[in-house]
Chain A
Amino acid sequence: MRTLFNYLIFPGFLFSACVGLIACWIDRKVTARIQWRVGPPWYQNFVDIVKLLGKETIVPAGAKITFLLSPVLGLLSTILVATILGVTVRLPLESFIGDLIVVLYLLIIPAISIIIGAFSSRNPLASIGASREMKLVLGYELPFILAITVIIIKSAGSIQIGSILNHQINFGSNLASFSGMLAFLVAIICMQAKLGFAPFDMSESEQEIMGGVFIEYSGLPLAIFKLTKAILLYTMPLLLIILFWAKNLTILASIGKYIAILVIIILIKNTNPRLRIDQAIRFFWGPVTSLAIIAIALALFGL
């Protein structure tokens, strides 16, 4: 019963969806202000979701069953991540050993569900988008996991989010050291790609491939994808806060940290043009991975 409540209402679906949609609004509003516009009202993203629920759902001819299943798969796994993280923040002792690994796996599933959905829609442009997304996943997963390895090294080899939290509460944030700072930088860049924001939004670029992976989606499945992205926009910064910046996690401090990271994401998004996919992979496997390796070396020396 409590698990169900956790999953569906408080740190899970309802709460994270509301926070995520409001974060999406902050994104649109700040973007608009940067471009000297006014921007939409705060309930805009909720209205968008309700509207999409009321639209017709079109399934393209010859699409497989995975076309409709994959959005649900992505949404379920993102909610699970939001629940695990939310419960851990409230009660760090309730986490189980190895939940960091589980979270890492679950965070790849939304990308995989997007890829499966796009491929099963039998649209050539969606296929291009999906293949880009696939290469991007290969690109950013390596430095992201290396950055998290830094955290594991720094918190004495623990792979339990609760004990990583406790370690930081006792010995200060990971961000306060050189290796932690480098790893944080790497993680922010990887998060940008995980969220599919510019400069790494080549998989759904509206201008060249018309929405790319989402081109055939309409109505309910599109709403689910939008919701998944919104919840990811809540969970990814939360994960970074927990791993890197968890010295002081009172409600006010966490909200402040969350908004700070959100604004960093939005500023990166608005000041960079879209990269080509080959440039992105070279960027991730070259400079970003080297930064992550330097961070690991520093962490091993205890810096």
Chain B
Amino acid sequence: MDLKLKALTKSLWVFHAACSPCNNCDIEILDLLTPRYDVERFGIALVGSVRHADVLLVTGVPNYKTKEILKTLYSQAPQPCLVVAVGNCACGRMMFKDSYNSPCAVDELVPVSAYIPGCPPKPEAMIAGVVKLIQKVRGKK
């Protein structure tokens, strides 16, 4: 396996893109950084700018406004950039599927590499999702 991918999987910097979620998912994501779960052990850190990001963490159902913003964000991120959809909303729009304000799902806008279902998903589920994502990235090579 080449060095680039190995380094990538050992140091995932996460940019948190909230596409109009109900905020529960975001609270659960922040739980990952607390002493109880502490994902910094694996080199995962939250960054402020999308230019530094390796992972785009998307929560919520895109609406007409955030749809464009999410597309721009993805195009601004340096490649290789992975996208993770957190929560039922981001995975498949759930009960907002027929809403007047929900034009499309996240994976119709950007290529999603991992789906983490749950409403909101438990921090353990998110860690399991990230582990699967890392295995996927490594397995590809």
B-binding residues in A (CB < 8 A) = 28, 32, 35-41, 44, 47-48, 50-51, 54-58, 206-207, 209-211, 214-219, 222
Contact = CB atoms under 8 A, between A and B. Distances in A.
Interface stretch (B34-42, B110-118, B119-127): B34-42
B49 A211 contact: yes
Interface stretch (B3-11, B20-28, B93-101): B3-11
Contacts of B34: 37
Contacts of B78: 55-58, 218-219
Nearest to B80: A55
Interface string B30-62: 000011001011110001110110100000000
A4 to B, nearest CB: 27
Given A37-B35, A51-B10, A55-B79, A28 B52 contact: no
List of 10 A-B pairs having minimum Cβ-Cβ separation, nearest first? A206-B48, A54-B4, A211-B49, A56-B78, A51-B7, A210-B48, A218-B51, A211-B48, A50-B7, A218-B78
Contacts, number: 82
B79 A37 contact: no
Most buried by B among A48, A51, A58, A211: A51
B76 A58 contact: yes
Contacts of B47: 206, 211
Given A47-B10, A51-B10, A217 B51 contact: yes
A117 to B, nearest CB: 13
A54 B13 CA distance: 14
A62 to B, nearest CB: 15
A209 B35 CA distance: 26
Contacts of A39: 38, 40-41
Given A37-B40, A47-B11, A215-B48, 11 more contacts: A36-B35, A48-B11, A51-B11, A54-B4, A54-B7, A55-B54, A56-B78, A211-B47, A211-B52, A215-B51, A222-B51
